[in-house]
Amino acid sequence: MALCWFLACMIFGFALFTGVTARVTARSLATKMPPTTSNVQDLVDDFFYYFAYGSNLLKERIQVQIDGARYEVIGHLPDYELAFVDFGMRWRGAPATIEPIKGSEVWGCIWRVPNSFALELDKQEINYERLNVTVEVPSQKNEDGTMRKIVCRTYRITDPNRKSQQPSPHYKHVIVSGAIEHKLPEYYIEQLKKIQDNGFKGRVELDLEAIRELNALGLTDREVARKYSMSESDKPTTTPF
């Protein structure tokens, strides 16, 4: 009887020891296992930051073509100035660009864009030059207390023959709406509201809810061409933000 009891205790103790050892080993392995590519590398490499300062400030507009874009934060680009140049048929007026000017500033939205949409964004901005800029994020700090800065892709018109012109009311309204939507600084929104538009009345190519009323006013492409003294074949093809 004593022998049976001794053997039972030995078996129970061995099983208990084996179970504890297995759990400790599993925990150790889990601790030592490196993070998977999908958990770390993909978060780093499968998107880029994009700085928008024109019509792509508005979520409704950017997601027409870049529906994978996700808003990150508002950003401040020092030593650049917002400008409107040439004439684009998409918006029936001058598209936005940025000009490097010391002491000036541009506020905008930083979007996270999946790499799978990179070519689509280039296509949207086909007559723009792509560049990387360092954008300040005044609302966020690094661990050392310094202001967060993000290297972003953006676009600007670099045609040496570009001329300053006015945007359409539709384009201006989309820009202002996007600035309000994402709470850009009030003084900057007021500056945007004061931009002089070209007074165009009619439809633009994009049918956005934000400009539904403006689009309802009417002119055909032929009337637009006549208004701006252009033949159909002479229409510029500048593609704005």
Which sequence positions are flagged as catalytic? 125
Tell me the backbone φ, ψ of residue 72, rounded to 5 degrees: -105, -60
SS3 40: coil
**Residues 6+ away with beta carbon under 8 Å from 226:** none
Alpha helices (H) along 36-89: 41-45, 59-65
Dig out the tokens for 20 from the structure.
Answer: 């504890």
CA diameter of the chain: 113
CB 49 within 8 A of CB 108: no
Q: Give the separation between CA 209 and CA 2, rounded to whole angstroms.
A: 87
Q: Give burial (CB, 10 Å; 0-12/13-18/19+) of 170.
A: buried
